[in-house]
Structure 1
């Protein structure tokens, strides 16, 4: 099968690698984005362009796939199918409808939920019990086409987004090759997405990592794990200094008071009062265990919070 691939970062790299290794497929052209300075695009940044070039596959760099030269090159490639993985902008109908078998998009969530950006982070924040990957037919609405295949993995009790990235990344190559095998049979009876269950998420930015101490300790624990290295860490301010929280957990004890209060040492960490209902004395706190300063220095929480009292805040 002749394949054109649209892909970017490590997800695209892994997908392209699987296509190159599959003897039944010929990759005729690769379209990828130029390198980006966006914080979430500098990580997991294995180069799709370099992998394609190493295998003699022509490469086009584009931010958007809608110029006349690109359309001409696509027509010349005569693909049976387009595969898209982690392409960051809308692909127009004149592109995704061009191949005789259409365009197979591979997205790192269990659609219809968590369409859009950073689905693993959002899923972990929301306490989902499983995450996964969906191969679906592309249509005019982003991440909304009929589902060809889905594969799921469980979210462990202490998993970070980094853990979930590695779990789901391993699915990308196999689900792509298996999805193309299903398309090759001529089937078209794919599963429509239930749009009543759909959710579409925006790109994350720096403010999305800022700790709001009115969240419950359980929610803040998930935020810290969701913003695990190499992602931008969850952060707060203490006495005018930014602290990036890199290790934390829910306290053993129940502590009442005002959210953000530096309260008490516990099990090698320091507990911060958390939750909008903390004043009732029924909430657990967030036990901070390790932080990182802006200069990169990492410290145990006990070395930062040497005396109890004072507050962690959302601004210096």
Structure 2
């Protein structure tokens, strides 16, 4: 089949490489210009460079609705469009243009976690599995019929970085299997409608989303720290007016009561911070902070940074 590919960052790069390695012909690539957004500078393998290296025409666009772009796509005569990590809305005159429409590759187990940063949100929320879905694009966000879906388990110590590597490796086999089914006409009867009552939608993450709220339960705070693992912007708090990035933390063994954010006691290789919506009860664990980083980039063991107990970590300076 003749394929037009829309994609960005490492997700798009893996998709394009899978198409190049397949029996299908990539006739045009659309990708976004480089961005200064913190999350878009992570996992930023360059789709345009890969296309140019393989002598595939490439167009750069922030949004895909202009007449010149539509003319170029029509002129490429695609049998199908394949999209992965395209960051803006696609008009129906584009996604419905080829005979087989547009196959979108999304890094969640749809219908849950449509939208942005699904791995991070899923980890924060304690999901047991994450994955990748190949679905047919329609006018609703990530809502079209599903062709293939693959999942991987979330381990108790997994970070968002671990889950990224595990799910990005699913892209190539899903892309190849999907296109081979469609090209051979063996996709009939395999498309499954999404249960829209189970759908959830998430926005892009920004700096505010990494700010620690010590009223959260300790287990959820520990997942936030794991979800904001390097190279993502770390979960952060403030101590005596200075921002601290929490690099490593887990749930304490003991139960500790008091005011959320209190720097309380040493436990094992870390320092316990009182946490939770009803921390005053003393019925729940705190967050055991093991390692932290100051804004100058220096990393400390928590026990070395907090020489004495007492005082508070706060959400604002």
| Matched residue, 2:13 | 13
Alpha-carbon shift at residue 185 of structure 1 (Å): 3.1
Alpha-carbon shift at residue 188 of structure 1 (Å): 4.1
Distance 1:309 1:292 in 2: 19
| Matched residue, 2:131 | 132
Map 1:76-95 to 2 at 5 A: 76-95=75-94
Alpha-carbon shift at residue 8 of structure 1 (Å): 0.2
Would you say how many aligned residue pairs link Structure 1 and Structure 2?
Answer: 315
Please give the TM-score of this superposition, normalised by the length of structure 1. 0.99
Please give the TM-score of this superposition, normalised by the length of structure 2. 0.98
Alpha-carbon shift at residue 29 of structure 1 (Å): 0.2
Alpha-carbon shift at residue 65 of structure 1 (Å): 0.6
Distance 1:11 1:268 in 2: 37
Distance 2:111 2:181 in 1: 20
Q: Kindly report structure 1 stretches of 4+ aligned residues shifted beyond 6 Å.
A: none
Unaligned runs of 5+ in 2: none
Distance 2:201 2:176 in 1: 26
Instruction: Say whether 1:194 aligns with 2:189.
Output: no
SS of the equivalent of 1:270 reads strand
Map 1:154-169 to 2 at 5 A: 154-169=153-168
Distance 1:181 1:25 in 2: 9
Distance 1:201 1:185 in 2: 35
Alpha-carbon shift at residue 182 of structure 1 (Å): 1.8
1:129-159 Cα shifts (integer Å, max 9, x gaps):
0000000000011100000000000001100
SS of the equivalent of 1:90 reads coil
User: Could you say what the CA RMSD is over the residues aligned between the two structures, in angstroms?
Assistant: 0.7
Distance 1:64 1:167 in 2: 30
1:167-191 Cα shifts (integer Å, max 9, x gaps):
0000011101111112223334310
Distance 2:154 2:194 in 1: 23
| Matched residue, 1:47 | 46
Unaligned runs of 5+ in 1: none
SS of the equivalent of 2:69 reads helix
Distance 2:38 2:5 in 1: 24
Distance 1:230 1:114 in 2: 22
